[in-house]
Amino acid sequence: MSFKTALGLSFNNLRTKKARTILTAFAGSIGIIGIALILSLSNGIQEYINRVEEDTLSSYPITIESSTIDTSSLVESLTSESGEVVEHEDDRVYSRNIMGDLFTTMTSQVQTNNLKEFKEFLDSDDSNISNYVNDIQYGYDVTMNLYKSDTTDGVVQVNPTTIFDALGMGSDYSSVYSNMMSSYNVWTELMNNDSLLESQYDVVAGKWPSNYNEVVLIVSENNEISDYTLYTLGILSQDELQEKFNMMVNGEEISFEETSYSYDELLNLKYKLVLNSDYYEKEGSIWIDRSDDSEYMKNLVDNSLEISVVGIIRPNEETVTTSSGLIGYTNELMEYLINKINESDIVKEQLSNSNINVFTGSEFNTGDEFDMNNLSYEERMYLSSLDQTELAEYIRSYTENMSTTYEDNLEKLGIASLDTPSTINIYPKDFDSKEEIKNIILEYNQMQEDNDMEENVINYTDMVGVLMSSVTNIVNVISYVLIAFVAISLIVSSIMIGIITYISVLERTKEIGILRAIGASKKDISRVFNAETVIEGMVAGVLGIVITIILNIPINIIIKNVVNISNISKLPVLGAIILVIISVVLTFIAGLIPSRFASKKDPVVALRTE
């Protein structure tokens, strides 16, 4: 008898006892349902944790700076109790000298990174880092000078923010607050990963940037942006803010009213990008800073590159860690800025001769005061043509730049090379990927040390640590423990199927005798009952999976309403297939003893059974 024939006989027998077959299959599916539900929740929670990791790491990347300091060593120097223990008398308080160690730490722990070499490594195929990152951002020490495009009421700078200068708080106060808010830059570079951005944000109006001079406004999940951002961007008047500040200083009550704007109003925002090198105009043989000349600045802003807000985006409801109240631009805008600066005349002149200061026309660090006798005939003739105001400006600019260095000028002009970033931010896909990235950096450092190039060793800062990876481990442990408990019910249900199969053997004793009488062997009889348990296991497994999928619907609805997380219970396809196979295997094993018992029955005794 073939196994196919055995399956046919078993199927016919189960079909004649539909009610018992269904009840038996349902009982056998209870364990499958329990494990499937745990797998569904575990799978959904793991996907949610992955999203949290991805969102978190999109805000806290692995940061590598050209110059960095080991802050942990500084803290250790400040708090360390190490050193020789000296017994003191109890009636006096003694000093503990740590400044020497602190000075040593401050000077020895300042580390430099060769980011040009490391960037070449990251961009090469040897690093294999692209498999583990969402994006790699290269930062440069270049200021993005942005102004309101409308200069009718004067030139208004929006980046870097001048909001505290506008308050008239004095240079000391404004510098303190400007430094404090410098970390909160309204203009920020978007990640160069469209799929990740689209998964984190919804476009509520307009579109995503498609050109280098297009940006998006990022609002909160409640369609809000702070009034600080509104004042910084020039949407709200900085003059009115100054008036309110003066009123407050004078003891008057002030209030800040809530304002609102239509999408069209915000999509009409335009700004102008001014290059660092554009502030300077050549007069004679030196370049003069014209940033304080209102007419020059108005003309400069009017003729600069226009930056347009083309979209308004909002974090979707399931995004965990995002920023809002910002203007997001693409990395193409920074590349454009760097390239245009490097193409300017003043930059070309300075780069062509590193010994001559373009702002003084003389060599760097001469320490000489302004002296007409040190000027050439052409320069003296040019100065004689200037009025008193222009001459004073010329002398002021000359004096201010006498003590500067070549590197100071490069920084002032915003000169940078795309091959030499000042910072590198690496955004891992998840915490496992972050560990792989750390290993890649370690391998790179080892390679540099093996080649006797210790100066290329990279030191980095990890902002997040291992917090979320610990959460992942906890979830995995809980899932495994729950599956172990539910697996007990699966084994119990399999044993129950074995018992029901044994009862079926007793009920079909006469049938066994007939089959043996017409020539069926012991193996054939055993095969018939094994086929029955396989069918029972298959039906139980499939029924368990179907019931689990149905139960996941109300579970997801409840979880969505309680914690606002959708699709948290999701059964993986592979897990469903494996559970069905497990159900079949366990019921088959449970039915081996009853089927063997049936095969050993004496056919003569079986035929006499009523």
Q: Which helix (H) or strand (E) holds 604?
A: helix 603-608
Q: What is the DSSP string of 460-474?
A: -EESSTTHHHHHHHH
Closest CA to 65 of 458, 548, 464, 609: 458
**Predicted local distance difference test score (pLDDT) of residue 466:** 46
Tell me if 583 sits within 8 A of 28, measured CB to CB: yes
The first and second tokens of residue 443, run together, are 């391998």
Residues of the chain with pLDDT under 50: 82, 170-176, 178-183, 466
**Predicted local distance difference test score (pLDDT) of residue 458:** 87
Q: At what angle do helices 592-599 and 467-507 cross, to 10 degrees?
A: 20
Tell me if 176 sits within 8 A of 183, measured CB to CB: no
Distance CA 149, CA 304 (A): 9
pLDDT in tens, 478-532: 667 766 766 676 676 667 666 766 666 656 666 666 666 666 676 766 677 677 7
Tell me if 350 sits within 8 A of 413, measured CB to CB: yes
Q: How far is CA 266 from CA 198, 240, 398, in A?
A: 21, 20, 43
For the full predicted model, state whether its pTM sits above 0.85: no
- What lies within 8 Å, CB to CB, of 88 at 6+ separation is 94
DSSP letter at 213 equals: T
Closest CA to 128 of 433, 422, 462: 433
**Predicted local distance difference test score (pLDDT) of residue 573:** 87
**Predicted local distance difference test score (pLDDT) of residue 433:** 83
Q: In what order do the strands lie in the sheet with 461-462?
A: 133-139, 423-428, 62-65, 461-462
Distance CA 563, CA 569 (A): 13
- What lies within 8 Å, CB to CB, of 230 at 6+ separation is 236, 259
- Residue found under tokens 């709200």: 236
- What lies within 8 Å, CB to CB, of 223 at 6+ separation is 204, 314
Q: What is the 3-state secondary structure (H, E, C) of 52-110?
A: HHHHHHCCCCEEEECEEECHHHHHHHHHCCCCCCCCCCCCCCCCCCCHHHHHHHHHHCE
pLDDT in tens, 155-192: 888 888 777 665 655 444 444 454 444 446 789 899 88
Q: For residue 266, give the 3-state DSSP assignment.
A: helix
**Predicted local distance difference test score (pLDDT) of residue 166:** 57
**Predicted local distance difference test score (pLDDT) of residue 171:** 46
Phi and psi torsions of 64, nearest 5°:
-125, 120
Q: How far is CA 32 from CA 21, 39, 548, 584, 585, in A?
A: 17, 10, 9, 11, 13
Distance CA 390, CA 466 (A): 60
**Predicted local distance difference test score (pLDDT) of residue 278:** 94
Distance CA 145, CA 275 (A): 7
**Predicted local distance difference test score (pLDDT) of residue 183:** 47
The first and second tokens of residue 352, run together, are 């062509």
**Predicted local distance difference test score (pLDDT) of residue 604:** 56
Closest CA to 405 of 366, 371, 369: 366
